[in-house]
Amino acid sequence: MGGKYDRRGDETVKKYFSYIKIVLVVLLLVFIIADVSLDQSSSADIKTVAAQVAKAAEVDVDAAAEERMVKRFYGLNPKDYEGAVLYAPKDNMDVNEIFIVKLKDELQAKSVEEAIQKRLDTQMKSFEGYGAEQTALLKAHVLEVRGNYIFYMVGEKAGKTQKAFLESL
């Protein structure tokens, strides 16, 4: 191997590799800075986020549903995530619902989004044809994925609550 370098000239090759290494490290730094600047993950505690959201939606913070309801409505196991908070509809004719998930890993986002979409489709089918008000609310749902957080809401104050959600992160 040494012979190959000797033919090309020691100093040239030496400078060449040092230069590449420095350039790569500089590019890596640029990548990391860009990554940090663009990263949307949040270290905010899900309980704090849920409290802010509940306040904006004007629901009782302590009215969050039990974990088994998350499984029943979405087929998701809350233990698979950093946290999941659900404010479920009060009865069968109610569609007001808030679901917040803090992911352990952003790779989980796709499956959670799919579960939410499935839930939405089921609700739409349930009210299609006779629940005009409910269908309108379901159509105006908000689904926001921000870094490691997913926010889903069906309700009149969905827009205002979404803003509170984003501010809480």
Partner 1 sequence: MIFSSIFFIFAFLPIVLLIYYLMPFKLKNLVLLIVSLIFYAWGEPIYVILMIFSIAINFVSGIELEYLMENGEMQKAKYACITTVVINLLILGFYKYYGFLLENLNAILPFDISYTQLALPIGISFYTFQTMSYVIDVYKGKVEAQHNPVTFGAYVSMFPQLIAGPIVRYSDVEKQLQRRIFSVERFGDGVMWFLQGLGKKVLIANNMGSVYESVMALGASQTSVLTAWIGCFAYTMQIYFDFGGYSDMAIGLGKMLGFDFMKNFDYPYTAKSITEFWRRWHISLSSWFKEYVYIPLGGNRGGTAQAIRNLMIVWGLTGLWHGAAWNFIFWGLYYGIILIIEKYILKEAMEKLPSIVQHIYTLVLVMFGWVLFCSPSLGRAASYMGTMLGIGGAGFADATALYYLKSTFLLGTFAAVASTPVIHKRFSEWIKAREVYKRAFCIAMYVVIFVISTAYLVNATYNPFLYFRF
CA atoms within 13 A on the CB side of 113: 12
- Let me know: does 146 contact 166? Beta carbons within 8 Å: yes
Q: Is 52 a residue that touches partner 1 (CB under 8 A)?
A: no
DSSP string covering 54-112: HHHHT--GGGPPPHHHHHHHH---GGGSSEEEEE--SSTT---EEEEEE-SSGGGHHHH
CB of 35 to partner 1, least distance (A): 7
Site map 65..94 versus partner 1, x via CB under 8 A: --x-------xxx-xx--------------
Which range in 28-36, 87-95, 132-140, 155-163 contacts partner 1 by CB under 8 A?
28-36
Q: Which of 51, 69, 89, 106 binds partner 1 (CB under 8 A)?
A: 106
Whichever of 94 and 121 has its CB closer to partner 1, that residue is 121
C-alpha radius of gyration, the chain, whole number: 24
- Let me know: does 150 contact 100? Beta carbons within 8 Å: yes
List contacts with partner 1 (CB under 8 A): 1-2, 5, 10, 13-14, 17-18, 20-21, 24-25, 27-28, 31-32, 35-36, 39, 41-43, 67, 75-77, 79-80, 104-108, 110-111, 115, 147-148
